[in-house]
Amino acid sequence: MKMLVKVLLIVGVALLLYRYRTGDANMRSVWICSRNDVLGNLGVLLAALGVFGSGTLWPDIIVAAIMATLAFQGSVTVVRQSLDELNRRQSLVVVLGDKIIWWATEHAWETFSSPSMPRG
């Protein structure tokens, strides 16, 4: 019964996050993790039924391989999107004396004190 409640809650969260599946890297990561949670819990239930029905461990091994593949695929997707977002961000660095003033398109002006700033 607890497993069913857990699956229903995770499915509910995944449905709430569905519209953010194409957002920035952070939102997409949350969506992918929630999706994988739902699929993992359903897979565990199916594997348990398969092991019980067949008397072998193969259903469990197959579900574990699928879950590992989903985790790897999700991490590759998020890392690629994160790198794309970093590469698209334009930034400007301004040096005034020993102060670095840095500005990027998505940030306000920020001032950093840099006593050990390299000169050159």
Confidence class of residue 97 from pLDDT cuts 50, 70 and 90? Answer: low
**Quick one: average pLDDT of 101-110?**
48
Count CB atoms within 10 A of the CB of residue 41.
Answer: 18
55: left (phi over 0), alpha (psi -120 to 50) or beta: left
**Quick one: average pLDDT of 21-34?**
86
Predicted local distance difference test score (pLDDT) of residue 47:
95
Would you list the domain boundaries of the chain?
2-88, 90-120
Q: Which one, of 107, 109, 112, 110, lies nearest residue 90 by Cα?
A: 107
Residue 70, pLDDT > 50, answer: yes
Residue 65, pLDDT > 60, answer: yes
